Amino acid sequence: MAEQYSSFKSGTTLWFLQRVTAAILIVTLMFHFFWLHFVNHAAEITFQGTAYRMEQLGYFATMLLFLFAGAFHGVNGVYNALINQGLTGTPKRVLKWVLVGAGFVLVVQGIRVALAMSGGAI
């Protein structure tokens, strides 16, 4: 039987960060669902309520952590999934920089939205 190739080499920094961001996403997603689906039901979510929550430093920091972890986890996961499919050479390098750029734009826009929702108070 052929050995299965994986671009995630156990023990590397990216392998470790993929697992750390997965754990962070599990915790922050649970926080999100608890807070926005059980404490505050969907019909009760308003722009003003969101702005109020984003003005709280702990909530703001948690949402930024959610943003950074999600962006890294997603970009790194897509990149490695495509590498595992056999992408090599120039297409691999182009993909890497396209994904780095997309991740950067995602994080910058996420920060801009978070700051706008917090009223710039943070």
Q: Residue 29 has what pLDDT? A: 94
Count of structural domains within the chain: 1
Is pTM, for the whole model, over 0.95?
no
Round to whole Å and give the CA distance between 119 and 122: 8
4 lies in a domain? no
* CATH code (residue 78): 1.20.1300.10
Q: Residue 8 has what pLDDT? A: 63
Round to whole Å and give the CA distance between 122 and 51: 12
Round to whole Å and give the CA distance between 96 and 57: 34
52 lies in a domain? yes
Domain that holds residue 31: 13-117
Q: Residue 19 has what pLDDT? A: 95
Helix, strand or coil, per DSSP, at residue 2: coil
1 lies in a domain? no
Average pLDDT of each block of 10 consecutive residues along the chain (122 residues)? 59 90 96 86 84 92 96 96 92 96 97 91 58
Q: Residue 122 has what pLDDT? A: 58
The residues near 57 (Cβ < 8 Å, ≥ 6 apart) are: 122
